[in-house]
């Protein structure tokens, strides 16, 4: 089956996989991914993959461990069915925040995940907006790292006036500066102090936000404590209104309640992680699709064309 491409998906984000296949003008390949009564993952590939170029679309979003195991087992299944090459498509890479040792006797889990993916037969990885760019170096196979920036930038240009881009912490300054430069906008930074995991205190604003539309930029929003605290501080410092843009809407724990009560007027995210019913119910969240961007990357990987022109 020379030069045939097949796209599979687990249960993490089947809607996104279908949208990619629509863009590629191919059917979504058949796989049955379910659980045995004891909770173990059961996978059965429903068609011949011998000699084919296989792409498995599976963000490792909550429930992270279930979706990770689905991905690993699907990769093992198609490898044993003699697929020519297997590419793991991870619009969201779970465990990415555990990318280095911050204390003694703690793991580097994102490296362990990379080793697991390679061990079962992954020969290429396609991902988007990694929390830490060095995760690419945890793999001994090619990694294509895409960015949602072009889609987010277009939205900001079309939707907001008199913008100042704001980094919610020092670690995101480089990303936020790049956006500000492309938008010809101002730059501000929130100086925060993290007291414990998933909790932080916004301290003060570095930069001029008075009378401007402040747009907070981050790679992901988890419990939303950072963003909501930063938004309240920006309003206190005179920002006209506050919006937020994040690639990955993890939105765990009290995130939605915090978002509803906060000064954030809108939260712009991508469809890298599907929203649940509670998240869809709030009118503050705007979802932009990156399915075509990732679909085009898949097309270029399959046809051995350059993917770098899609990078920002």
For β-strands 199-206 and 186-196, DSSP reports them as antiparallel
Rounded-to-integer distance, Cα 92 and Cα 246, Å: 12
Q: Is 192 a catalytic residue?
A: yes
Which of 6, 111, 192, 212 is the catalytic position?
192
Do 103 and 69 meet the contact criterion of CB atoms below 8 Å apart? no
CB 251 within 8 A of CB 280: no
Helix 14-24 with 291-302: angle, nearest 10 deg = 60
- Give CA–CA dist 43/33, Å, rounded: 5
Cα–Cα distance list, 58 to 75, 93, 200, 221 (Å): 11, 9, 30, 19
HSE-CB of 191 using CA atoms within 13 angstroms: 5
- Report whether 186 contacts 164 (CB < 8 A): yes
Report the C-alpha gap between 117 and 25 in whole angstroms. 28
The position carrying tokens 């765990």 is: 252
What DSSP state is assigned to residue 303? Answer: T
Q: Helix 64-80 vs helix 109-120: angle between axes, to the nearest 10 degrees?
A: 20
Residue 146, H or E segment:
strand 143-146
Q: Which residues are catalytic?
A: 192
């Amino acid at each position: 089956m020379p030069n045939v491409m097949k796209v599979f998906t687990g249960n993490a984000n089947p809607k996104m996989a279908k949208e990619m296949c629509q863009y590629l003008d191919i059917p979504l390949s058949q796989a049955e991914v379910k659980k045995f009564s004891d909770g173990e993952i059961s996978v059965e590939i429903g068609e011949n993959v011998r000699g084919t170029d296989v792409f498995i679309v599976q963000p490792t979003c909550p429930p992270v461990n279930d979706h990770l195991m689905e991905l690993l087992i699907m990769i093992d299944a198609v490898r044993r069915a003699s697929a020519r090459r297997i590419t793991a498509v991870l619009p969201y890479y779970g465990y990415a925040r555990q990318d280095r040792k911050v204390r003694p006797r703690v793991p580097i889990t994102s490296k362990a995940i990379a080793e697991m993916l390679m061990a079962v037969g992954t020969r290429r990885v396609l991902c988007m907006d990694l929390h830490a760019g060095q995760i690419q170096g945890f793999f001994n196979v090619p990694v294509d790292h895409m960015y949602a920036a072009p889609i987010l930038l277009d939205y900001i240009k079309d939707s907001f006036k008199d913008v100042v881009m704001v980094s919610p912490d020092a670690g995101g300054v480089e990303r936020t500066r790049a956006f500000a430069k492309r938008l010809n906008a101002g730059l501000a930074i929130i100086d925060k102090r993290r007291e414990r995991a998933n909790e932080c205190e916004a301290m003060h604003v570095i930069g001029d936000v008075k009378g401007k539309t402040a747009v907070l930029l981050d790679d992901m929003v988890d419990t939303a404590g950072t963003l909501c605290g930063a938004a309240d501080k920006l309003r206190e410092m005179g920002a006209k209104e506050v919006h937020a843009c994040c690639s990955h809407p993890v939105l765990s724990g009290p995130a939605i309640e915090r978002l509803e009560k906060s000064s954030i007027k809108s939260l712009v995210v991508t469809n890298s992680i599907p929203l649940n019913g509670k998240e869809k119910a709030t009118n503050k969240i705007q979802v932009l699709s990156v399915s075509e961007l990732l679909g085009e990357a898949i097309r270029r990987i399959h046809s051995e064309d350059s993917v770098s022109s899609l990078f920002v």
